[in-house]
Amino acid sequence: MFRIKRNSDGTIARHKARLVAKRYLQEEGIDYQETFSPVAKLPNIRFETSSSFVCKLHKALYGLKQAPRAWYSTFSFFLISQGFVNSKCDSSLFIQKTSSTFTALLVYVDGILITGSDTQHIQTLVTQMHQVFSMKELGSISYFLDIIHNAGIMNCKPCSSLIAVKPAATPISDHSFANPTLYRSVVGALQYLTITKPDLTFAVNQLCQHMQDPTNAHFSAVKRVLRFVKGTLHHGLTYTPSSFDLHAYSDSNWTGDVLDQKSTSGYCVFLGINLISWSAKKQATVWRSSTEAEHKSLAHTATELAWLGLRLHDFCIDSPTVPLL
């Protein structure tokens, strides 16, 4: 398998080649418990020859179901040996505290994000990691999503709203979209965009519910979101020094989905005056009243507040007041 890895500006970073001996698709209930790697029978091991060796793999086999777990186990063991402590509320977060430094390391699959109070200490840690692992430094955080260009609507007109109040009904609006791969690709990219644009969250959540079989109407809704994005390219979140008081807002739209009558929960959490967490998610149960739907939304938000309180504790910060919901 060959792939070209590119930088954020589109230039080629490197050519990557990967050898895959067998592509194994496992399905739960059919072959989910079967292993990928071949296992030698014991009788074959018991023959002696003039030269016998036992080989230990330095890396997990590509495609092995337990490969991510093996990588995490190896990497976390290294970090703990360097004085890091694994967060109790997030297994991907590792914290290192000394008398003069504070370092936080976040693991995302095979990506690593490091921040801390001492730049020299971080560079020393990175040097130690290079001695143990084969890794590449990508520099400061930067991510560029050219979604509008990829969707082929560079010349579209900006739109001031995300969702049409009265969707246009046409004879072909319910027909399956001719290019579902494009739909999934664009909506997947929009999911990443919600990391920094909370105003897109509800609309993108609705679009994600039609990944399996999108229609022409669904792709029209995607284009409307992209038109909104084009008109708000210079909008963003700003963070300023503030207090460490946690407070949140919660809401739900009772039976908001006309097809399955389920409600959608939404919340936003502030640390002082800064927005730090938000969500829009369909509830799993159909409720008999708006009170039940609101209560469920409050429960989701309270869980997020409790988790954020633990996260602040990881960073040696204690909220001066009780979180307000």
pLDDT of residue 27: 60
pLDDT of residue 85: 93
Q: Determine the pLDDT at residue 59.
A: 66
The three-point CA angle 27-29-33 to 5° equals 75
Instruction: Supply the pLDDT for residue 37.
Output: 45
H helical segments located in the chain: 42-45, 67-81, 119-132, 147-150, 180-193, 201-208, 216-231, 290-314
pLDDT digits (tens, 9 = 90+) for 287-304: 999 999 999 999 999 999
Q: Mean pLDDT in each 10-residue stretch from start to end of the chain (325 residues)?
A: 79 80 57 50 52 63 69 89 90 89 86 88 91 83 72 83 74 81 92 89 93 91 92 88 94 90 94 93 93 95 93 86 94
Cα–Cα distances (Å) from 145 to 111, 116, 139, 219, in that order, read 18, 27, 18, 19
Residue 29's pLDDT is 58
What's the pLDDT at 44? 47
Contacts with 116 (C-beta within 8 Å, 6 or more apart), sequence order: 96, 101, 102, 103, 104, 122
Q: What is the pLDDT of residue 65?
A: 66
pLDDT, residue 140, reads 77
Cα dist. 117→102, 208, 238 in Å? 5, 39, 21
For 3-18, write each residue's pLDDT tens digit: 888 876 778 888 888 7
